[in-house]
Amino acid sequence: MNGTPTSTIFLVLRRLRTPLIVLIVIFSVSVLGLTLMPGPPDPNGGSMPRLSFFHATYFISYTATTIGFGEIPYAFSEQQRLWVTFCIYLSVIGWAYTLGTVFAMLQDKNFLNAVAAQRFARQVRHLREPFYLICGYGEAGHLICQALDELGYRAVVIERDEAKVGDLELQSYSADMPALCADAGQPDTLILAGLTSRYCRGVIALTNDDSTNLAVAIAARLLAPSLHALCRAEHAETAANMASFGTRHIINPFEKFGEYMALALHSPAAYNLLLWLTGLPGTTVTRHREPPEGKWVLCGYGTFGRVMTEALENAGLPVTIIDRAAPLAATHSWIKGDGTGGEALRAAGIADAVGIVAATASDVNNLSTVVTARELNPKLFTVLRQNHVANRALFDAFESDFAMVPAEIVAHECIAILTTPLLAPFLAFVRQADDAWAETLLNDLTGRFGWDVPTVWSVSLNISQAPSVYRLLMRNAAELKLGELLRTPVTDRPPLACVPLLLLREGDPPRLLPGLEEPIRLGDQLLLVGSETAHKDLGLTLFNSHTLKFVLTGQDFPSGLVWEWLAARRQVRDA
Amino acid sequence: MNLEKVIFGFFIVLAATLNFGFVIGDIERPELHNVYEMAAALIVSLIATVLKFGDRTQIGAIHLATSLVADLQLLAAAMVWGYAEHVANTGLTPSTMSSIVSLSGGALFANVISVVILIAETIMQRR
């Protein structure tokens, strides 16, 4: 099957051509022969007339299909019986051949693929709500699907591995997720999966293969330029290539973790704040131990090892590398060997080191390295690269200080970009802010909302996302303060359980942590963090004029022409 | 020479010729229209239909459509014949015979279109 799905009905017809012709020939030979056989002798002398085409067709029809009503319309002559015997065997062969072909076709790989592709295309065509297109249902894809499902978004999945598509069908998602087993690098497949659909909100390319991700990125750029495209790239060249044609979000898990590590070294509170804000929905974040300053040992100088070395050296910490091959730059101190054995670790000076990074591509070797290292120096800070989510139990049992799970990093990043576009500029501020500020903010927020991952959402005060505020501000020029809006629509109007993190206004510099006295204007964009209930309550306020009026004044106003008129009269009379 | 094309052309032309042979003759006289010729025309027409299955081109679609029309007309004619002989027991009256032959005549028209398409296709290919 190459890209375009063959229409199943044509495939069926083409396969059944020979069996159908065989069946027609057998049938017509049988019927014709039966009409030619002389009938039995007539009691009045002479013989009965030969069977007509009508009777012969009737007889052969029920005989060939093994129904067998007997000899109708009269007891047959010996010649007719001889011919019928022949016909019975002939028709059995015909039916067996036809049915055999049909069943073989139903189990045929190509046929099943064609049927699956058609069903998938139909499902996607009938999607009438926003969805995300996910290419590659690996570990990261799985996490993202789960998160999207929890957030109430639909997803369409393309995955090359059949076993993983099967796994997707076994997951109990609340919404149905159409999945196709195909190569995401083919533009036809992407179109089939709804890349050009007007309900498609974004493309997420997460396959293990950089070239496939690149193909998805370029297809998205050319076929649907306005879509968000999130692409995973593990090699710097791929990332540069993607960036060259304007892919907006390129996610390199190793680079990302390097950034996290640098942030954790530079400002632990900011790092924890970032983890808390970008956590996967429904999970709890635990506060991490701060990476200590001192000498570090790194095992495995691959792509990830290089990024980590850079992050540590930029923070001014000396790093000793253990690897079989020498690093490219001779400036690093290097011990030849294997990190899994005690010898190389001792030679690298594990006894007086403060931390170790196990960065090889093998989970077992990484675990073995840190276990050995911790035996030699129990106080070590450990950074572990976990390559497969499936090995989680082992990594949890070890309790490393930092675990670098590429799939989880990619998933965090994607969710953050997709659901709250304003989060990225805020996080950029957090990365640059000083530690004391981040510490205060973190303590403040976690003190209020706990360590469970909060709801982070953004709101644009325009006609589509906040119609009631839009109408109010357009009609009367009254000033509206942020604090007035952020109240719960219940008796006494307590403040909503949320905190505004960022206010973007065109022409003004972004305001971090805007105060509740801040006046709001149309076109403002707000980033908020808080509880899910607060999110829903604010949504109600922004959409419903009556709720907004209640939130602003604390009074329930009558609605409907008659009641409004009566209320106005009463007001006049009272005054 | 392509054997597949030979078989294909053979069945299409045969369906048309058998149909023509059956239809020709005074429309209301049963003795001029042979039942075996009618059966042969129907069977060959069915086989021609199946041979046209699975061609996704525009011409293939028209081919299939004309064949389906011919089948439908011939089946209707056969059913009228069977009904007159065995269900109504009126035998082949001139009116029954003329409706059988006119139905087959319709099928002949469809078969002629089939043959015309076949010829047009052959001329178009120029090889």
- Per-residue pLDDT tens over the stretch A97-113: 999 999 998 888 888 88
Confidence bin at B126 (pLDDT 50/70/90): low
- Looking at the complex, report in whole angstroms how far the Cα of residue B74 sits from the nearest Cα belonging to chain A: 14
Q: Is it the case that residue B8 has pLDDT exceeding 80?
A: yes
Enclosing H/E stretch for A519: strand A519-520
Q: Is it the case that residue A4 has pLDDT exceeding 60?
A: no
What counts of helices (H) and strands (E) characterise chain A? Answer: 24, 18
DSSP A486: S
Q: Is it the case that residue A331 has pLDDT exceeding 80?
A: no
Most confident segment among A88-92, A419-423, A515-519, A560-564: A88-92
Q: What is the CA radius of gyration of chain A?
A: 36
Q: Is it the case that residue A369 has pLDDT exceeding 60?
A: yes
Tell whether B57 is within 8 A of chain A (Cβ): no
- Determine the pLDDT at residue A559: 67
Confidence bin at A383 (pLDDT 50/70/90): confident
Q: Is it the case that residue A2 has pLDDT exceeding 70?
A: no
Q: What percent of chain A has pLDDT over 70?
A: 97
- Determine the pLDDT at residue A365: 87
Which of B53, B82, B86 comes nearest A13 by C-beta?
B53
C-alpha span between B62 and A459 (Å, rounded)? 57
Tell whether B51 is within 8 A of chain A (Cβ): yes
**pLDDT tens across A291-304, in order?**
888 888 888 888 88
Which positions in chain A have a beta carbon within 8 angstroms of at least one beta carbon in chain B?
A: 7, 10-11, 13-17, 20-21, 24-25, 28, 31-32, 35, 52-55, 57
Is A32–B36 a contact, with Cβ atoms under 8 angstroms apart?
Answer: yes
| Helix extents (H) in A44-108 | 53-64, 78-106
Q: What is the CA radius of gyration of chain B?
A: 16
Q: What average pLDDT does range A334-353 have in this prediction?
A: 81
Is A21–B56 a contact, with Cβ atoms under 8 angstroms apart?
Answer: no
Is B82–A28 a contact, with Cβ atoms under 8 angstroms apart?
Answer: no
DSSP β-bridge partners for residue A321:
A298, A334
C-alpha span between A209 and A184 (Å, rounded)? 10
Q: Is it the case that residue B102 has pLDDT exceeding 60?
A: yes
Q: Which of A144-153, A506-515, B118-127 has the lowest mean pLDDT?
A: B118-127
Q: Give the pair of three-digit tokens for residue A452.
A: 């469970």
> Which residues in chain A have their CB less than 8 angstroms from residue B85's CB?
52, 54
Provide the whole-model pTM: 0.67
**Degrees (nearest 5) of the Cα angle B42, B46, B49?**
140
- Burial bucket for residue A172 (CB in 10 Å: 0-12, 13-18, 19+): exposed
Which ipTM score applies to this complex? 0.76
Strands across the sheet containing A381-385: A333-336, A319-323, A296-299, A355-358, A381-385, A402-404
C-alpha span between A494 and A500 (Å, rounded)? 16
Most confident segment among A192-206, A305-319, A472-486, A513-527: A192-206
Confidence bin at B38 (pLDDT 50/70/90): very high
Query: Looking at chain A, which residue has its C-alpha nearest residue B81?
Result: A54
CB atoms within 10 A of CB A526: 25
Is B46–A24 a contact, with Cβ atoms under 8 angstroms apart?
Answer: yes
Is B86–A21 a contact, with Cβ atoms under 8 angstroms apart?
Answer: no
Q: Is it the case that residue A1 has pLDDT exceeding 70?
A: no
**pLDDT tens across A240-271, in order?**
888 888 887 888 888 888 888 888 888 888 88
Tell which phi-psi region holds residue A294, choosing left (phi > 0), alpha (psi between -120 and 50) or beta: left
> Which residues in chain B have their CB less than 8 angstroms from residue A14's CB?
53-54
> What number of C-beta contacts closer than 8 Å exist between A and B?
46
> Which residues in chain B have their CB less than 8 angstroms from residue A11's CB?
54
Mean residue pLDDT of chain A comes to 85
Contact (Cβ atoms closer than 8 angstroms) between residue A257 and residue A408: no
> Which residues in chain A have their CB less than 8 angstroms from residue B50's CB?
17, 20-21, 24
- Determine the pLDDT at residue A348: 82
Q: What percent of chain A has pLDDT over 90?
A: 13
Confidence bin at B127 (pLDDT 50/70/90): low
Which of A24, A31, A54 comes nearest B50 by C-beta?
A24
Tell whether B68 is within 8 A of chain A (Cβ): no
- Determine the pLDDT at residue A286: 76
Better-scored residue on pLDDT, A338 or B48: B48
- Determine the pLDDT at residue A65: 85
Better-scored residue on pLDDT, B108 or B53: B108
> Which residues in chain A have their CB less than 8 angstroms from residue B39's CB?
28, 31-32, 53
Q: Is it the case that residue A564 has pLDDT exceeding 80?
A: no
Is A7–B46 a contact, with Cβ atoms under 8 angstroms apart?
Answer: no
Q: What percent of chain B has pLDDT over 70?
A: 97
> Which residues in chain B have their CB less than 8 angstroms from residue A17's CB?
50-51, 53-54
C-alpha span between A107 and A433 (Å, rounded)? 62
Q: What average pLDDT does range A56-67 have in this prediction?
A: 90
Q: What average pLDDT does range A57-84 have in this prediction?
A: 90
Q: Is it the case that residue B105 has pLDDT exceeding 90?
A: yes
Better-scored residue on pLDDT, A11 or B114: B114
C-alpha distances in Å from residue A343, one per residue of A336, A359, A365:
11, 18, 15
Confidence bin at A447 (pLDDT 50/70/90): confident
Is B56–A28 a contact, with Cβ atoms under 8 angstroms apart?
Answer: no
Interface mutation target, options A8, A21, A32, chain B, most CBs of B under 10 Å:
A21
Mean residue pLDDT of chain B comes to 90
Tell whether B86 is within 8 A of chain A (Cβ): yes
Residue with tokens 């129990």: A378
- Determine the pLDDT at residue B1: 67
Q: Is it the case that residue B74 has pLDDT exceeding 50?
A: yes
